[in-house]
């Protein structure tokens, strides 16, 4: 469990470094080097943590020169699997599912491809969106050909969908339904929960208002 949390945070930082390096390259493709102080300034991450993270890539820093931006980018591509196409399936083709589909399709520079759409509403099955047919989720089996399942169904059916994905040997699940799923330890899991995010913001606003009133 501890290892998993540790990994989450490292991979999250690698994703942030990667985006930052791409921006450096697109802003100024003459620039060859960066260092942990510049990255720290841009990303508000401690420079010693950046150096520790980047040391995992191997010997890419040169004393007095910093890191080669291209070598860093290619090292992070290896770590995050950015040099492969990862196949996604969306389960639940309501508004949220459609929005996520279009968001990923519009993000043409990403290495993610939506290959399957599933729903269990007979009125939707067979309809094609952006060239992909919506299939009946009940028909999925162990011969599926995607890497990550994105669950965009309502909360009350999310756990059953997740259980079926696990049965079909899917090892990575992203859950958008507002419910905490219970999953085996070997499944990589992320949740995107809009109401929880709003609760965090209003909790902070509320607390801040209370402090201001009492002072």
Q: Which stretch in 28-36, 121-129, 157-165, 199-207 sits in contact with its own copies by CB under 8 A?
A: 199-207
Which strands, in side-by-side order, build the sheet including 61-62?
33-34, 66-68, 61-62
Q: Is residue 146 at the binding interface for its own copies, with CB under 8 A as the rule? A: no
What is the DSSP secondary-structure string of 145-173?
Answer: --SEEEE-S-HHHHHHHHHHHHHTT--EE
Among 47, 71, 86, 168, the residue binding its own copies under the rule CB under 8 A is 86
Binding test (CB under 8 A) with its own copies, winner from 49, 144, 178, 181: 178
Does position 99 interact with its own copies (CB under 8 A)? The reply is yes
Q: Is 79 in the site for its own copies (CB under 8 A)?
A: yes
Cα pseudo-dihedral 51, 57, 62, 64, rounded to 10: -20
90 vs 152: CA distance, rounded Å: 7
Answer yes or no: are the C-beta atoms of 137 and 125 closer than 8 Å. no
Which listed residue (95, 139, 141, 214) binds its own copies by CB under 8 A? 95
Report residue 173: phi and psi, to 5°: -130, 135
Distances in Å between the alpha carbon of 76 and those of 45, 122, 168?
17, 43, 30
Q: Does 160 bind its own copies (CB under 8 A)?
A: no
The three-state secondary structure class of 158 is helix
Q: Of the listed pieces 5-13, 64-72, 119-127, 159-167, which binds its own copies according to CB under 8 A?
A: 5-13
Region near its own copies per CB under 8 A, out of 66-74, 119-127, 134-142, 189-197:
189-197
Cβ distance to its own copies smaller for residue 29 or 139? 29
Q: Which is nearer to its own copies, 164 or 171 (CB)?
A: 171
| Cα 56 to Cα 215: distance, rounded to the nearest angstrom | 48
Q: Which residues pair with 138 in a beta bridge?
A: none
The single residue among 14, 67, 118, 137 that binds its own copies, judged by CB under 8 A, is 14
Cβ neighbours of 166 (radius 10 Å):
17
Sign of torsion over alpha carbons 34, 35, 37, 41: positive
Please report how close the Cβ of residue 181 comes to its own copies at its closest, in angstroms: 12
List interacting residues with its own copies (CB under 8 A). Answer: 1, 4, 7-8, 10-12, 14-16, 18-19, 43-44, 79-82, 84, 86, 88, 94-96, 98-100, 102-104, 107, 110-112, 147-148, 171-172, 174, 178-180, 188, 190, 192, 194-208
């Amino acid at each position: 469990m501890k290892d998993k949390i540790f990994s989450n945070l490292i991979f999250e930082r690698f994703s942030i470094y990667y985006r930052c390096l791409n921006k450096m390259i697109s802003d100024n493709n003459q620039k060859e080097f960066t260092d942990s102080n510049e990255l720290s300034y841009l990303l508000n991450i401690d420079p010693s943590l950046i150096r520790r993270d980047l040391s995992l890539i191997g010997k890419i820093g040169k004393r007095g020169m910093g890191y080669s931006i291209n070598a860093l980018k290619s090292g992070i591509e290896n770590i995050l699997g950015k040099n492969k196409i990862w196949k996604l399936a969306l389960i639940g083709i309501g508004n949220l599912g459609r929005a996520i589909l279009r968001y990923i399709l519009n993000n043409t520079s990403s290495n993610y491809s939506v290959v399957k759409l599933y729903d269990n509403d007979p009125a939707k099955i067979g309809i094609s969106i952006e060239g992909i047919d919506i299939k009946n989720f009940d028909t999925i089996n162990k011969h599926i050909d995607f890497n990550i399942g994105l669950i965009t169904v309502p909360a009350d059916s999310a756990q059953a969908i997740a259980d079926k994905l696990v049965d079909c040997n899917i090892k990575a699940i992203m859950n958008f339904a507002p419910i905490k799923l219970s999953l085996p330890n070997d499944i990589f899991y992320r949740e995107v929960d809009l109401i929880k995010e709003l609760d965090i913001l209003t909790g902070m606003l509320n607390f801040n208002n209370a402090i201001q009133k009492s002072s």
